[in-house]
Amino acid sequence: MSRLKLLIRAPAVYSLLLLAACSEPPSTPPPVGVVVDTVRVEPYQAQSVYVGRLVARDDVTIRASVSGYLMERSFNEGEQVQAGDVLYVIDPSEYVAALAIARADLAAAKANQTNAQRNYQRGLELLPKSAISQVEMDNLTAQKLDADARIESAQAQVTAAEVNLGFTTIKAPISGRIGRSQVSPGDLVGPSSGDLTTLVSIDPIEALFQVSEATYIDQISQRVTANPTVDDLKNIEVTLELADGLQYPEVGQIDYFGNRIDAATGTMEARARIPNPYGLLVPGQYVRVTLQDTALKDGLFVPLAAVQADQQGAFVLVVAGDGTVQRSNAQLGERLDDMVLVTGGLQAGDRVIVRGLQQVRPGMPVTITATVGANADEGN
C-alpha cells in the first residue's frame, strides 16, 4: 500500500519541480566582446585615380612633296632623330634641270626688260619732238610693263624650282623617334604615294584622361585663374601606373584641361605632361593616372576594416554611449592605405567596430575589449 502511494505522489513531485524551474528568470548571455577603432581627423594629400591613354606631344606624318625615285633612306627604323636630320633623298636631277631652265628664263626676261626700258626712255625723248606718235609711245610703255611683269613671273619660277629641288631632300621637322619606313630606295614616291614614315616626340609624353566634375571642383577650379597657366596647377602631381602594375618613377604635372564638362559623362578632358627621358613610355599605352595634391589638408577617416556594404550602401557599426551597437550609413571618398575618407554620416570620435563584426547586429549590447590604431586588422 505504501509503495502505491509513492507511485501516485511521484508525478505530482515532478510537476512541482518543473513549475519551480519555469518560474526562475532566464539567464542573460554576456555581451559580445568587440575591438573598436575611432573615427579621427588626419592630414592627407587628396588624390584621385583615372584611366588614361598616352599620346605623343607631336605626331608627324612624313610625306613626299615632289615626285621622283627614292635614292636614299638615311635612318634606322625606331631610332631617335634630331630636327633637321636627313631622312630620305629623292632623285634631284629633274629638279636641278628645272631650276636651270627657270634661271635661264629669268636671265632672258631681264635682258628683255633692259631692252624695253631703253626703248621706253628713247620714246620719252622723241615724243616731245614729235618724232614718234602717241600710239607708238603707248606701245613702248606697254612693252616696258610687260617686261617688268615677265621678270616677276620668271623670278617666281626660279623660287618654285628652288623649293621643289629642296623638297627632294626630306628632313625631320622635329626631334623624336622615327617609325617604320613604308618605302625603299628605288620606289617611285610623290604627294599621292601616302605616308613614308611617322615621327613622334615622346619626351615629355602626354597622358589624356577624363577628370570628374567633383575632382575638378575640389582640386583644380580653386587654383586656376581666368587664364590658367602651368603654375596654377603645379601643386597637383601626376603619377602613372602601367598595365603590369609597375609604378612609373617620373612625376608629371597637368598642363591642360578642357573648357567644358561633358553633360553625358560628367567629366572634363585633362592632359598631363610626363618626363620620358629613356623612352620607356610610348604612345597608345593605357595607364592609371593618379592626381595627388602636394598640399596637406585635414580629413575625417574611418578604418577600412570597419566598412561594410549592402543594398543600402556603405555602413559601419558604431558602439553607442550606452554600449549598444548602432548602424551608421556612411558617405565615403577616396581610400588611402587602410583608411577611407569620410564625407558624411560619421563624426570624429565615433567608435566603430573593426573585429567581431560577424557576431553582432544593431541593438545588441557589446563589451569593448580593446581599442586599436589605424593598422587594425579585420578579425571578424
Task: Give the HSE-up count for residue 353: Cα atoms under 13 Å, Cβ half-sphere.
Answer: 32
pTM: 0.61
Contact 289, 281 (CB under 8 A): no
pLDDT of residue 17: 46
C-alpha–C-alpha distance, residues 270 and 125, integer Å:
75
Domain spanning 32-43+298-371 has what CATH number?
2.40.420.20
CA torsion sign for 110, 116, 122, 125 is negative
Contact 238, 252 (CB under 8 A): yes
C-alpha cell at 223: 587654383
E strand segments, 74-204: 80-81, 86-90, 169-171, 176-178, 188-189, 197-201
Give residue limits of the domains in the chain: 32-43+298-371, 48-57+202-295, 65-90+168-194, 92-167
The C-alpha angle 275, 84, 272, rounded to 5 degrees, equals: 20
C-alpha–C-alpha distance, residues 50 and 266, integer Å:
14
pLDDT of residue 89: 95
C-alpha cell at 321: 554611449
pLDDT of residue 1: 45
pLDDT of residue 206: 93
Within 8 A by CB and 6+ apart from 379, the residues are 35, 354, 355, 356
3-state secondary structure of 98: helix
348-364 burial: b if 16+ Cβ within 10 Å, else e: eebbbbbbbbeebeeee
Return the CATH fold of 92-167: Helix Hairpins (1.10.287)
The pLDDT profile of the chain, 380 residues, written as one tens digit per residue, is 444 444 445 555 455 444 444 555 555 667 878 888 888 888 877 777 889 999 998 899 999 999 999 999 999 998 889 999 999 999 999 999 999 999 998 888 888 888 888 888 887 778 787 777 888 878 878 888 888 888 888 899 999 999 999 999 999 999 989 999 999 999 999 999 889 999 998 889 999 998 887 767 765 555 555 455 555 566 678 889 898 888 999 998 888 878 888 888 888 888 999 999 888 888 999 999 988 777 777 888 888 888 988 888 889 898 888 888 889 888 887 777 788 888 888 888 888 888 888 888 888 888 888 888 644 444 44
C-alpha–C-alpha distance, residues 110 and 302, integer Å:
89
Query: Does the domain formed by 48-57+202-295 have CATH 3.40.50.720?
Result: no
C-alpha–C-alpha distance, residues 333 and 297, integer Å:
14
- Of 248, 155, 161, nearest in space to 207 by CA: 248
CA distances from 76 to 179, 181, 200 (A): 9, 9, 15
* Amino acid letter for position 174: I
pLDDT of residue 165: 93
Query: Does the domain formed by 65-90+168-194 have CATH 2.40.50.100?
Result: yes
pLDDT of residue 290: 86
- Of 308, 287, 371, 302, nearest in space to 337 by CA: 302
29 burial type by CB count under 10 A (0-12 exposed, 13-18 middle, 19+ buried): exposed
